Amino acid sequence: MSQISLQMYTLRDYTKTSYDLEKTLEKLRGAGFSTVQYSVPGEADVSDICRIFRKTGIQNDSVFCPALSIKERKKDVLSQCDAFETDYIRTDSIPRGLTSNAAGYEMFAHYLNEVGNEFKKQCKKLLYHFHTFEFIRFGEETGIDILLRESDPELVQILPDTHWIQCGGEPVVKFLKKYRDRYDYVHVK
């Protein structure tokens, strides 16, 4: 797999139809990309999307599922992983209702461990994507520190984003070095 992949959220206005997706992927292929990070829209036909990816010679490096629906959508998520030939499942951030105290981060970390364990049994990796609000301080730790302390590195990886780390008030390089064993991907902005 390529070392540089384009996060397709930035091109969401150019991928609203199958035709637009195909044309956009063709342009990306022409620009030298071989992999992207694309989230299949809920109403889309996965087999149609996969056909477009194969036709354009682009690989989708991971699939996406919202954290709170990942248990009930497990079968669909694994099916998408098989269709795109990827072992990575991205999920979104902690629900805002859990961010007001350390206990919320601890509880959510245990939930991610549960989900991550189910995917590990299928040889898949769960990637947690965070934003600025995970850098709220609770004494000496931030919410993301608590979440990472409480989650099992074998079950939960992070998908660090340099923009959100910086906006959260953390030095980007220091954060990436501190958690270098917890990620395979980095969003660079």
The DSSP line for 78-123 is HHHHHHHT--EEEE-PPPGGGTTSHHHHHHHHHHHHHHHHHHHTTT
**pLDDT band at residue 1 under the 50/70/90 scheme:** very low
* Average pLDDT rounded to a whole number, residues 1-22: 87
* Average pLDDT rounded to a whole number, residues 126-144: 95
- Would you state the pLDDT for residue 3? 73
End-to-end CA distance of the chain: 21
- Would you state the pLDDT for residue 4? 79
**pLDDT band at residue 95 under the 50/70/90 scheme:** very high
Which stretches within the chain are classed as H helix? 18-30, 46-56, 74-84, 102-120, 143-150, 162-167, 172-178
Mean pLDDT for the chain overall: 94
Distance from the Cα of residue 87 to its chain's centroid: 12
